[in-house]
Structure 1
Amino acid sequence: MTGILDAVVIGAGSSGLGVSYFLKRQGCAHQVLERSRIGETWRTQRWDSFLLNSPNIRSVLPGDAFHGTDPWGASTQHQFVSYLESYAERHRLPVITDTPVKELSRDNGLFLVATPHNSLQARNVVIASGSLNCPKRPPLSAELPPTIRQLDSSAYRTAADLGQGAILVVGSGQSGGQIAEDLVLAGRTVFLATSRAGRLVRHYRGGDIFNWMTLSGFLDMPRQEFVLPSGKLPARGLLGATHTMSLQSLSAQGVVLLGRFLGVENGSLIFGDDLDEHIRFADESSADLKRFIDVYIERAGLNAPPAEDDPAETIVPHLPDPPIRSINLAESGITSVIWCTGFTGDFRWIKIPDAIDGGGQPIHQDGIGFVPGLYFSGLDFASTRKSGIIVGIAEEAERLAGHLAKRSGL
């Protein structure tokens, strides 16, 4: 395709493909540029036992419907990547792989998209490269001695790769809790430095919790209503892909629970005195969601079964007594630290004033950039709770594509 395009979509993950689907329906002349392969982040930043948290029936893209035999099951990342490839082929989306964008600039009202192969001109650009592909480590990671192997959750694959020794997992959100369980089930000694993260049950009142969150409108809650007073966004709560996970259940499996990791002093790892608070916060967040769903069930007049206790929530926690506030590295046997402390996006290649802020993150309102014709798709919590997850793609993609088409007079 030559000449000036109506749009270029950058990224062929689930968000980029969803946007492309609607752009094609609008008759928008566009190309989707992918730095490597379709679904590259899904391929390279997940551990071996990883499963999607959204059930199969809620893990389909726009224009598709689930017709499989296990609607409430969980897919592996490999199965989901195969689905993305099939989706792009079946809908004949204009995806060009192995084409990383080196620079995005703007001149005379047109966007200039530079790749190693050529440069494209477009009236609009949709950036769908995601905001959760660059792991973040706290500065205190530099305090660990070089004898300790450090890796991010995106680099973890399996316990066997870590060699011998105990493992410290830092962060008890989704990745931290799931990786800690993966390790302890492999027979490893695991310490988990907890954080103030919520959690969710897997099933509630006869249904999958993800389905309840979708039906009840919980995932439609606007960003403004759950952003923290500091302006930061909360981590997504701990959710097992096939079963309920809690700090209590992890401790019962043998994971040693600790407070927040504070750093290193005199050869010892130091932890906060806030473990009980973290357990309590996770419990309260689960209870709050259940109450939200209860209200929805009553309001909608649904004949749902009564609530039942979940063993992962009622199990007695096995906590260190007295609480562990420090661990001597020379005596602990800890040889590896896995950082499960969040992600951000890399947008340094955008060379357009007012496109990104001082922290290097997109300036936008509900995915619509402040620069006319610039859009961002798939940003975590961009406008609602479901922004950035698969179930939110159809709504966001259709809205952004519609805005783009109207702007372009299509």
Structure 2
Amino acid sequence: MAGILHVVVIGAGSAGLGISYFLKQRGRDHRVLERGRIGETWRTQRWDSFRLNSPNIRSLLPGDSPDVPDPGGASTQHQFVSYLESYVERHHLPVITDAPVEELSKDRGLFLVATPRGVLQARNVVIASGSLNCPKRPPTAAELPTALRQLDSSAYRNAAELEQGAVLVVGSGQSGGQIAEDLALAGRSVFLATSRAGRLVRHYRGGDIFNWMTLSGYLDVPRSEIVLPSGKLPPRGLLGATHTISLQSLSTEGVVLLGRFLGIENGSLMFGDNLDEHMRFANESSADVKRFIDDYIRRAGLNAPPAEDDPAEMIAPRLPSPPIRSIELATSGIRSVIWCTGFRGDFQWIKIPDTIDDDGQPIHQNGIGFVPGLYFSGLDFASTRKSGTIPGIAEEAARLVNHLARRSVS
């Protein structure tokens, strides 16, 4: 058993490595525990054509120079994993791989972090395992026949790995839209059950949309202004990594657009009568973001190019007429269903009272747990719209480590 560490960081993805960087800068004795390899989730939960939605210039971790090749490019997951590995080497971060945490408990003021290699003791713990590693499916998924292959977006790799036949993609947020396009470009017959998800253009007024959202403060909008009346958080809007993807552009690529998936009834897949509403919401959300950026450009007195229409937004949709409300499964040719219906975190290994809520999710305020010395990094929408994204890591990691340091001297 090692001596008492100042901090144990759980997770060696981008969030955990950002925390480790600032801890090292402050000379804090710590270890970073990773269940598999560095960036394990990036390695195992992405499809083959996946690229980061944030441009290279916005995908840097703390301490790295912004002088990068192809600053506006979009890295593949493999390139990003290589970047994470090099980051650990260049900054000499104390990462221990193949060390899954089996249980986190607390005794006599110390955190006990149990792994197959033994138990580490620490005065503080930062959980950076993320809140998007366990896929969620609606209850209706259990009603589908076993002959129909079901997989989550995190398990999808490419069209060739699926059974021959048509594919139903459920959910039109970021993953759903990108995967539907990937399948369509591979020549597959695709049905897309849409959802109430926003949309973003890839480029606007001479710049990348992520750059504009960062500069304008759009990503700094607090969680309290984002959460829905139901108390739930909205899905991330549809954004193509290299180009704009819209429901209407998908329809012109042959994707058949449907309303929300409702389940199966008498052998038929059922869909809601809300496709028009979903398309309208996506259009309006894109317009809202543009207005936010326009206001910023005007206030800042920037000499930005005028706005131009994006072809992917302006193209006329090709919609089924009449709208499809049901599809008889036996004659549809659908052989696979890909669920793009969101994720949640796995925190059941935490055995400390007042740490996770009844839904098994962290109890925290801006990433600071209610149990002294416990922190959460990399949670989606933890404090702002930027939380949980790579561009948000540097700011969040610095803030949490500063809080941790103040606690240590109090």
The one-letter code matched in structure 2 to 1:195 is S
Aligned twin of 1:76: 76
Aligned twin of 1:269: 269
Structure 2 residue 8 is matched with structure 1 residue 12: no
Misfit runs of 4+, over 4 Å: none
More deviation in 399-408 or 144-153?
A: 399-408
Structure 1, residues 238-281: CA drift from partner, whole Å, max 9, x if none? Answer: 00000000000000000000000000000000000000000000
Q: Secondary structure at the match of 2:195?
A: coil
Aligned twin of 1:393: 393
Structure 1, residues 20-47: CA drift from partner, whole Å, max 9, x if none? Answer: 0001111111000000000000000000
Give, in whole Å, the separation in 2 of the partners of 1:375 and 1:68. Answer: 31
Give, in whole Å, the separation in 2 of the partners of 1:292 and 1:48. Answer: 34
Aligned twin of 1:34: 34
Q: Secondary structure at the match of 2:7?
A: strand
The one-letter code matched in structure 2 to 1:186 is A
Aligned twin of 1:245: 245
Aligned twin of 1:90: 90
The one-letter code matched in structure 1 to 2:312 is A
Aligned twin of 2:168: 168
Q: CA deviation at 1:409?
A: 2.0
Aligned twin of 1:345: 345
Structure 1, residues 175-206: CA drift from partner, whole Å, max 9, x if none? Answer: 00000000000000000000000000000000
Aligned twin of 1:373: 373
Aligned twin of 1:287: 287
Aligned twin of 1:120: 120
Q: CA deviation at 1:307?
A: 0.3
Q: Secondary structure at the match of 2:336?
A: strand
Give, in whole Å, the separation in 2 of the partners of 1:69 and 1:94. Answer: 28
The one-letter code matched in structure 2 to 1:29 is D
Count of paired positions? 410
- Within-5 A mapping of 1:208-219: 208-219=208-219
Give, in whole Å, the separation in 2 of the partners of 1:13 and 1:69. Answer: 22
Q: Secondary structure at the match of 1:119?
A: strand
Aligned twin of 1:58: 58
Aligned twin of 1:402: 402
Give, in whole Å, the separation in 1 of the partners of 2:204 and 2:233. Answer: 26
Q: CA deviation at 1:408?
A: 1.3
- Within-5 A mapping of 1:183-332: 183-332=183-332
Q: Secondary structure at the match of 2:79?
A: helix
Give, in whole Å, the separation in 1 of the partners of 2:114 and 2:136. Answer: 27
Q: CA deviation at 1:66?
A: 3.2
* Identity over aligned pairs, percent: 81
Give, in whole Å, the separation in 2 of the partners of 1:360 and 1:108. Answer: 25
Alignment TM-score, normalising by the size of structure 1? 0.99
Aligned twin of 2:47: 47
Q: CA deviation at 1:226?
A: 1.1
Structure 1, residues 281-328: CA drift from partner, whole Å, max 9, x if none? Answer: 000000000000000000000000000000000000000000000000
Q: CA deviation at 1:330?
A: 0.5
Cα RMSD, aligned residues only: 0.8
Aligned twin of 2:359: 359
The one-letter code matched in structure 1 to 2:46 is R
Which sections of structure 1, spanning at least 5 residues, go unmatched? none
Structure 1, residues 104-131: CA drift from partner, whole Å, max 9, x if none? Answer: 0000110000000110100000000000
Aligned twin of 1:182: 182
Which sections of structure 2, spanning at least 5 residues, go unmatched? none
The one-letter code matched in structure 2 to 1:198 is G
Q: CA deviation at 1:405?
A: 1.2
Structure 2 residue 16 is matched with structure 1 residue 22: no
Aligned twin of 1:103: 103
Q: CA deviation at 1:164?
A: 0.4
The one-letter code matched in structure 2 to 1:65 is S
The one-letter code matched in structure 1 to 2:355 is A
Aligned twin of 1:136: 136
Q: CA deviation at 1:65?
A: 1.8
Give, in whole Å, the separation in 2 of the partners of 1:183 and 1:347. Answer: 33
Give, in whole Å, the separation in 1 of the partners of 2:20 and 2:380. Answer: 19
Q: CA deviation at 1:2?
A: 2.7
Q: CA deviation at 1:3?
A: 1.1
The one-letter code matched in structure 2 to 1:63 is G
Give, in whole Å, the separation in 2 of the partners of 1:67 and 1:144. Answer: 51
Give, in whole Å, the separation in 2 of the partners of 1:211 and 1:68. Answer: 15
Give, in whole Å, the separation in 2 of the partners of 1:213 and 1:403. Answer: 27
Q: Secondary structure at the match of 1:178?
A: helix
Give, in whole Å, the separation in 1 of the partners of 2:114 and 2:81. Answer: 27
The one-letter code matched in structure 2 to 1:163 is E
Structure 1, residues 117-149: CA drift from partner, whole Å, max 9, x if none? Answer: 110100000000000000000010011001100
Aligned twin of 1:150: 150
Q: CA deviation at 1:67?
A: 2.7
Q: CA deviation at 1:352?
A: 0.0
Q: CA deviation at 1:83?
A: 0.2
Q: CA deviation at 1:68?
A: 2.9
